[in-house]
Amino acid sequence: MTKSNFFNIVNFFPYLKYRENILEVKEKTVNEIIQEYPTPLFLFIPDRFEQNYKEIKTNLNKFVPNLFVTYAMKANYLGRVLRQTKQLGLGIEIMSFFEILLAEKAGFSYDNFVFNGPAKTAAELEHTIQRGIKYLNVDSLNELKLIEEIAKKKNIQQSITVRIHPQLSENTERRLLIKKNSKLGIDYSRGIKLFEYAKRSTNLNPTGVHIHVGTNIVSHDFYDELLVFVNDYINDLENRKGIQIQEINLGGGLASKSKLDENGFSFEKLGKQINTNIDNIKDKMVIFEPGRYLVEDSFIAITRVLRSKKSWGRKWAFVDIGANSLIPMRYSEYRIIPSHYKGKGQYCNIGGPLCLPVDVITSEAVDFEIEEEDLLVVLNCGAYTLSMSEQFGYPRPAVYELENDGVIKLLKPSDDIDQMVKDSFWSEKT
């Protein structure tokens, strides 16, 4: 990454700015932010989350009159993020009892729940059906039968949505994160059988089609292909099988806002694509369930350089945040920028403190000058980090919020190292 490169990247993050080579996060320098707080730390920028939501909602709504955006909480279920989600009026996508309880605590109503997963427990289904869950996605006959049994006992008719794996071109299929042979979703004809089963049952009501096949999507072409498939599938259900579809859930999978901007992706254009490809769009509800898009670039991490070395012709800097927090997922795109740009340096790889070879924060070497004790900022670290983090020998970092007035508020303390020791010897307590 060259100097001009990372200065360009910052342009896609409206809350970041270099003023005379000193990085400001919403007008506050990184030094000011960490004055009272030890590194490493995560920092939530709530208005970025809000902007991200408004961007998708406002632009899609121009062409998609009935739109429902739900937040996939697995991306980051920090209570503050869930409260913000609820306050903005989004729905919530959940996958487990823990997430059900979090959604309840954040105050979401069951009308706004979307429940996904290939193997929901009877207890999870009973709990959510009892409380009137509206969007229940299914991708197996046995789970459908279990839902029917629960609904029958309660003497209700439960609406269900079938999660299918779309038939796309070989080329697109190859690039998908979730492929035909993955455990998620069901093929075309078995999907139709689930719809038919549900239609025959007095306790089930098949209302929607659900598809989620990717993550970090930046391509309009992908949606063109997907939407043609979805429209044909719906026509098949409606015209041949007499099953009326009310909801089209297009899943999550969008890249972060800053990455979409870098790639020239526009929600207005996506709205037009949906409008032109789906018949009778005004009679259908379109659901999106993004996780990464909403939250990835609304968090940064601040970390300090602990050590540096050269080995085999390579320069390394080691920072105090590791892969136990910045999970090295295939689609993660952590980017590192200096809090103080001191000039061009030798290409340098950045690793965390863990004694593990995978603990490398980004595959891109940086070429700004780095010295021990410098503060660096990690971008794009809000999704699948806090919710997947592990201790692995280190306490997980504290999480703060940068409020609009510049006040910094603690959202979650770092793990207590003494407690970690106690937990390890838990069975010895008397």
Ligand X SMILES: Cc1ncc(COP(=O)(O)O)c(C=O)c1O
Contacting residues toward ligand X, per CB under 6 A: 72, 74-75, 93, 116, 212, 215, 251-254, 289-293, 383
Residue nearest to ligand X (CB): 252
Q: DSSP labels for 18-73?
A: EETTEEEETTEEHHHHHTTSPSSEEEE-HHHHHHHHHHHHHHHHTT-SSEEEEEEG
151 neighbors 130 (Cβ within 8 angstroms): no
Shortest reach from residue 65's CB to ligand X, in Å: 23
Q: Pick between residue 95 and residue 350 the one whose CB is nearest to ligand X.
A: 95
In the complex, minimum distance from the CB of residue 210 to ligand X, in angstroms, rounded to a whole number: 8
3-class secondary-structure state, position 137: strand
Q: Give the nearer residue to ligand X in terms of CB position, either 37 or 331.
A: 331
Which of 233/318 has CB closer to ligand X?
233
Residue 114 beta carbon to ligand X: minimum distance, rounded to whole angstroms: 8
- In three-state secondary structure terms, 194 is helix
Residue 289 beta carbon to ligand X: minimum distance, rounded to whole angstroms: 4
Query: How many angstroms separate the first and last alpha carbons of the chain?
Result: 55
Write the CA distances from 280 to 207, 208, 338, 376, 404, integer angstroms: 15, 15, 50, 50, 42
| CA 361 vs CA 23, 212, 326, 379: distances in Å | 20, 28, 7, 11
Complex with ligand X: residue 270 or 383, whichever CB lies closer:
383
Output the smallest distance, CB 136 to ligand X, in A.
12
* Closer by beta carbon to ligand X, 74 or else 396: 74
Show the DSSP H helices in 166-284 as ranges.
Answer: 170-175, 188-200, 220-235, 257-262, 267-277
The residue among 178 and 365 lying less far from ligand X, judged by its C-beta, is 178
Please report the sign of the dihedral spanned by the C-alpha atoms of residue 16, residue 17, residue 21, residue 27.
negative
Nearest to 162 by CA among 212, 112, 104: 212
Give φ, ψ of 427 to 5 degrees.
Answer: -70, -15
User: CB of 383: closest distance to ligand X in angstroms?
Assistant: 6
Distance CA 84, CA 241 (A): 41
Beta bridge partners of 376: 303, 338
Q: Kindly tell me which of 74 and 86 has the beta carbon lying closer to ligand X.
A: 74
Q: How far is the CB of 217 from ligand X (least distance, A)?
A: 8
* Contact indicator for 379, 334 with CB cutoff of 8 Å: yes
**Nearest to ligand X of 165, 212 (CB atom):** 212
Cβ nearer to ligand X, comparing 383 with 408: 383
Min dist CB 251 to ligand X, Å, is: 5
**Amino acid letter at 376?**
L
Q: Nearest distance from residue 125's CB to ligand X, in Å? A: 17
Nearest to 356 by CA among 331, 396, 323: 323
